[in-house]
Structure 1
């Protein structure tokens, strides 16, 4: 299923752009689901007075626990919200049930579902569970259609995410948590199995049951599945910003953070653009400031007027260079209802089709042993700046920090037998140079 994640600068109209994107995609003939993390009611305001409409197919067969039943607000357009409180309570109850023996031994009282309030970070876990549930529903629907069944499910998923810094950390969470579980769980499981007979016979201490380990194993599977979804070619990110003095800088940092986690940006939405050429001095000044910021934004995305080679590259069939910037005019007021969303949907445009397959590995190793005696690891970091970069080698891993974002990258096998000889940032790519370690490198090289 094609998936578009909408994020951007806080207060830039992300929810409105997500709704317009979903509407444009539905109007193009694709069955579209808009999934929102919003709790403040912004989505209700955007679609008022269209919703909420009665739940419609495919709700009956595909609404899982992490999200509310989708409602059809327009032809081929469904809307649903992530049900974080319900998801948190169900997961807490499941963990307590699996750890019941330990809780009873410690004299701990279980937390009742009616008194459980979700903890900070619960939204992120609910979103990951919902992403997997929606994609599983899409797989079932596709299998049903292939078998001659009725059209069900969705072709496109549009997700309204939090502001960019929070969204980037959220997208990196499956890999980070999976890494923690891989390091902590095996040793814990082995120790528990080895000590179980002795503890049970000598001390009578209950050890977590196998079901508890099965819970950890299920978490690992869920994290791996969500990571597989995020890393698909069919998943892209759209960044929303209202052009202003700080927009280009904020989006540059967001692009760098997304690139660090291997996420692909397919468009930047310049939202709430004021009309140009006004006779009103105040409006003309505000519009002029916006246009200057828009020019800076285009140049930062590789779409500035001083880069004609981009159009030539696209015309030659070499694929787009840089990131397209789409302009959305100011509606004059906050959009309410499908009639107000229509012009914005025309400006944003529908979601394009992309194959649902694993994305190509963005990190590549260049063999320069013959000429320079080096291996070069190329890490694309579009938007990164030299002063924001930091590298630390820790064993067989490379800790890369870009501004406020950090990722731990396992080194390819060949680079594990090398020492870091230097690094440089050039044309949006970090190149880390590795020199073979004579103590570890095969002598015939």
Structure 2
């Protein structure tokens, strides 16, 4: 099974691009599902259909689904929810508040994991295209298995086997045990799906960006964190590019800044491929326009083809600190200078600059040394004194 995940700032065009990619792949004969994990669903609007919490057939080989958290709760974790309610009520929490607290942190994002696990286990689709929520929620989704593991160990500190052993002698404990079994199954499924999402031979992430300063900044942060979590990015898509030479006055200034930003995007994400999607001059609704988007983006190739297998950025733990490794092709040793300002790392190579946003935890670390042995640049971070 192949998985494609589209992420980016809200309004960057994730839904349209995801739907167009799914349509193009489906029309090559691959059984494809496009799934929206954004609570503010717009996938049905783009396809011109009313979608539900189960897959709906759009046309031959193409299915679409908008996740519904309440439907997913009933389907996947009814016993776990009852366990949560019992735990909070035993602790004296008011029932109404307990109902609210029983919603597991990240439950909305977690439902996507459980659906993907089901489809992978049943081998229902050749390709799953995920139209994700905006960047922050996507990163929550991808880090969810570790967070849930930590959360469950804090909420239920007693050993599982001891509780299950008690259940043999306590009839009323049966619902509690069912909840624990469901929690264990949930964590196991999330672990399996995370392995799928982190496998670069199965899953690729594509970052949507508009040629605007704030959108580019968020895309850089997303790229850094995706690399940090071990998720493969195979392309950046620049969306809604206005045609050159057709604007005057106000739009002429916009076109000048657009050209600068596109160059900045290509330099920032090199050597990843950067695909350009022109503005169509109208809102994209319906299969005919989605087909046009897919053709403009991918040409004659299928939308699910691997666009890059590069892993240009890695952050690993080493010697009590961290090492950031970055591939910089076509540069000679000594060509690169590194400056840091807050959470931004600026690489200077001749007249060109590249900005990297560092993970926030590196605020506690300083740069010990920088080594450049082409094509790899390695930056060593150590803890700040005191």
State the TM-score, normalizing by the size of structure 2: 0.73
The 5 Å alignment of 1:153-172 reads 153-172=124-143
**How far did 1:281 drift?**
3.0
What's 1:276 paired with?
244
Aligned match for 2:148, one of 165, 174, 177: 177
Deviations 1:310-360 (A, max 9, x none): xxxxxxxxxxxx111100010111111111112211122233446xxxx9x
Structure 2: tracts of 5 or more residues without a match? 329-337, 346-356
Report which stretch shifted further, 223-232 or 263-272: 223-232
Query: How many pairs align?
Result: 345
In the alignment, what sits opposite 1:308?
A: none
The question of whether the paired residues in 2 share the 8 Å contact of 1:102 and 1:207 is answered with: no
Q: Distance in 1 between matches of 2:370 and 2:33?
A: 39
Q: Is the 8 A contact 2:81 2:179 kept in 1?
A: no
Matching residue within 117, 131, 152 for 1:132: 117
Give, in angstroms, the shift of residue 7 of structure 1. 0.5
Distance 1:250 1:229, change over 3 A: same
The Cα of 1:162 is off from its aligned counterpart by: 1.0
C-alpha spacing 1:84/1:105, structure 2 compared with 1 (3 Å)? closer
Q: Distance in 2 between matches of 1:335 and 1:175?
A: 37
**Which secondary structure state, in structure 2, belongs to the residue aligned with residue 246 of structure 1?**
helix
Q: Residue 83 in 1 paired to residue 83 in 2?
A: no
Residue 351 of structure 1 pairs with residue 303 of structure 2: yes
* Structure 1 gap segments, 5+ residues each: 54-66, 139-152, 303-321, 367-373, 391-401, 408-419, 435-445
TM-score by structure 1 length? 0.64
**Hey, what's the Cα distance between the residues in 1 that align with 2:155 and 2:102?**
27
Tell me the equivalent position of 2:29: 29
Residue pair 1:4, 1:236 contacting (<8 A) in 2 also: yes
Determine the C-alpha separation between the residues in 1 that align with 2:184 and 2:288. 48
Post-superposition offset of 1:252 = 1.3
Matched with 1:14 is: 14
CA contact (8 A) 2:80 2:183 kept: no
2:225 to 253, 257, 264: 257
Change (3 A) 1:77 1:428: farther
Contact between 1:380 and 1:428, CA under 8 Å: does it hold in 2?
Answer: yes
Alignment correspondent of 2:3: 3
Checking the alignment, whether the CA contact within 8 Å between 2:47 and 2:286 is kept in structure 1 is yes
| Aligned counterparts of 1:136 and 1:385: Cα–Cα separation in 2 | 47
CA distance in 1 between counterparts of 2:166 and 2:252 reads 76
Do the aligned partners of 1:378 and 1:432 also contact (CA within 8 Å) in 2? yes
CA distance in 2, matches of 1:364, 1:258: 13
Q: Aligned-pair RMSD on alpha carbons?
A: 4.4
Matched-pair contact (CA < 8 Å) for 1:174–1:226:
no
The structure with the larger Rg is 1
- 8 A contact 1:25–1:32 mirrored in 2: yes
CA contact 2:106–2:144 (8 Å) conserved in 1: no
* SS of 2:143 mapped into structure 1: helix
